[in-house]
Amino acid sequence: MEKLSVIICTYNPKQFVFQQCLDAISAAAVQQAPFEIIIVDNNSQPSLLEQEYISRFLKQQANARVVIAQKQGLTPARLKGIEEAKGDLLLYIDDDNIIREDFFLKGIDIADRNQHIGAWSGQVKLVFEKEPEAWTRRYWGMLVYREFNEDKWSNFPHFSETMPCGAGLFVRKKVADYYYALHRDGQRPVQLDRSGNSLLSAGDNDLAACACDIGLGVGLFSAIYLQHYIPASRVTKEYLLRLAEGITASSIVFKSFRGEMPAPLTVKNRLANMIRMMLQSSIDKQFYKAILRGERTGKAILDNGQ
């Protein structure tokens, strides 16, 4: 059986949400105890070690500890987790994720039965602080909404239908170590994760795709399931437009890491874009424009080599 290292990267978490996350981890540990639980504090103020509810959790879970990632950003926090982890299998849980009680048990079972898969995740149900407007539903995929019945896998790093997400991401340690080495050796000049006001967000895809780089597959499995808490601020039109732009830019840079470069924009492409916008509703037109801005941003990042 695989030794499981649970990694939670967090920065100034909301206590009432993070408490639910930790309670769910404790419940899952009753069914299947992980080898270790690592909370990566990315410079929270005040420090998590000063929080009473964190101290209680550390007392309850003897194999849990808090480590500090001093460089700001989700990518450095994920890398710190890899550096600290001693298990054969890593599991990334976001601080706003509430896993089901059998999450560890089912995840390890998938690892044992699918040695050809290097990274995977499962179903994600969104739990909203406030009921969002109906029009937002078609954009919930950007908030990592995933509900499905059929397991899927492939060894294609750019195939969205089988690409795991960062919420509840299982990744074998040898895959994570390969990803860590890419950053250590300067082969990832751009951080494809949230940092400050940036909504770049393909770092989880890049980590998972490293499984394909070393000859393994990636996949989605319906047996593992979690809830993802969404605050009201993340279903406003303004936020979702920024997110669409950030995801598009991230995708372009992510694909470039494995040789897929964006095609130049031709006159025919420009004409098709104009016709497409003419046929869209007002709200869809705004999102399409955000995607076009994201494409320009992604290409600019590549051009500047940043």
Task: Encode pLDDT of 252-302 as tens digits.
Answer: 999 999 988 877 766 666 566 666 655 567 888 899 999 999 999 999 998
Number of domains in the chain: 1
> Could you tell me if residue 140 is inside a domain?
yes
> Could you tell me if residue 250 is inside a domain?
no
d(CA 234, CA 54): 26
pLDDT reading at 224 higher than 80: yes
Strands (E), 13-95: 36-41, 64-68, 89-92
- Sequence-distant contacts of 11-14: CB under 8 A, at least 24 apart: 11/41, 11/42, 11/43, 11/44, 11/72, 11/77, 12/44, 12/45, 13/44, 13/48, 13/95, 13/96, 14/96, 14/231
> Could you tell me if residue 228 is inside a domain?
yes
pLDDT reading at 52 higher than 80: yes
Residue owning tokens 């005040």: 46
d(CA 137, CA 71): 35
d(CA 49, CA 41): 9
**Which residues span the domain enclosing 98?**
4-232
Confidence of residue 2 (pLDDT cuts 50, 70, 90): confident
d(CA 50, CA 74): 21
**Is the whole-model pTM more than 0.85?**
yes
Which H or E run contains 224? Answer: strand 217-230
CATH assignment of the domain containing 176: 3.90.550.10
